[in-house]
Amino acid sequence: MKTSQNGLIQREFFGLTSKKIPIYQFTLKSESGMICKIINYGATIRELWVPDKNGELVDVVLGFDSLEEYEKQNSKYYFGSVIGRYANRISGGKISVDGNIYQLPLNETGINTLHGGFEGFHTKVFDAFFDEPCSNGATLVLKYTSIDGEEGFPGNLDVTVTYRLNDFQLSIEYQAITDKPTIVNLTQHSYFNLSAQDTILDHYLMINADSYTPADEGLIPTGEIRPVEGSLFDFRKPRMIGKAVQEILKTGLVGYDSNFVLKGKTGDLRFAAELIEKKTGRSLKVYTTQPGLQLYTGNYLSGVRGKKGRIYNKFAGVCLETQNFPDAPNHKNFPSALLLPGELYNHKTVYKFSFIEESPVCGD
């Protein structure tokens, strides 16, 4: 165990992978009472314990109890894992980098590349390091080298993910360097449920976005950037997720799985979204330096046995994935995902928890 002024870290054995590689769980604690448990398999957040307005701690993320379950099932759900090399979808699995065409695995219905391929970063074992004790909170550094050609991506990519738990916030910083031109888009795929109940349909959600990127039936962006005003994608004021989902279901969609164009300057840490559960009083504000946020309402969860035998069904959790835009390498008008040798890929996301006393103003 190592301690810092504002937190501590404990390490324990979590299990052996199918290849007999030992995996460890790291428990980060802050003085505020928050607890975050992370395994170095997939750099995965397994548990995130947050007090409510009365001080009662509850685990607010979905996940599994055992390493075997993560190995066998998480390529379908991605519970709590870091996603790479490219989060979200790439149309037809084809990218052009430095004049060369690369074919990536078609792991989504045999048509598109999703979340880095069959063996994306959610399946990788990261090297773990304790940061030296400091006043910035309990800090865990996870590193992984993705070799040239892994899942079809060019270049050797050295990746560092830094988790820091301090007071009532969890920050995640992503860095990467390459020895060959490549594309990179990393994110965190936690499913949040601030009440730890069956669904998130009674949660309220606000997204700081005036526009979104419409997608086709395969959830590949058309390339258009469309205003949210007057649409079912307008979350500029808090909306109850259940009511929003009811409306989106009428259009033939199965829920939200959509990218929003965040307001503000990419590279600046700015407010992206807020999730509120008024019975417990928990509020989660998301801040990021990224240009986009993918809203996913857990549309395809069905009978999944999660932690402590809990069954996750549709809408059991909501993902707020800070990211570059889906399929950005194939749309010149989207932010570039290109990383060149000598450059540093660097972005940050912060999850900040607080408590509310009154119901939010509903935008419905």
Give the residue numbers marked as catalytic: 189, 321
> Which amino acid does the sequence have at 187?
T
Paired residues of 351 in beta bridges: 170, 286
Q: Which of 162, 171, 189 is nearest to 294 (CA)?
A: 189
Roughly how many angstroms between the first and final C-alpha of the chain, as a whole number?
48
Distance, CA of 267 to CA of 55 (rounded, Å): 35
CA 144 distance to own-chain centroid: 18
Distance, CA of 65 to CA of 30 (rounded, Å): 23
Give CA angle at 223 (217, 228), nearest 5°.
Answer: 80
Residue 180 · residue 156 · CB < 8 Å: yes
The DSSP element (H or E) to which 298 belongs, if any, is: none
Structure tokens, 61 = 């993320």
Task: Tell me the chain's radius of gyration from C-alpha atoms.
Answer: 19
> Which amino acid does the sequence have at 27?
T
Strand order through the sheet with 157-166: 127-130, 138-146, 157-166, 169-178, 345-355, 282-288, 270-277, 204-207, 239-240
Residue with tokens 């469309």: 226
The DSSP element (H or E) to which 276 belongs, if any, is: strand 270-277
Concatenated DSSP letters for 53-85? TTS-EEE-B---SSHHHHHHHHHHH-TT-EE-S
Cα-Cα-Cα-Cα dihedral of 79, 85, 87, 91, to 10°?
Answer: -130
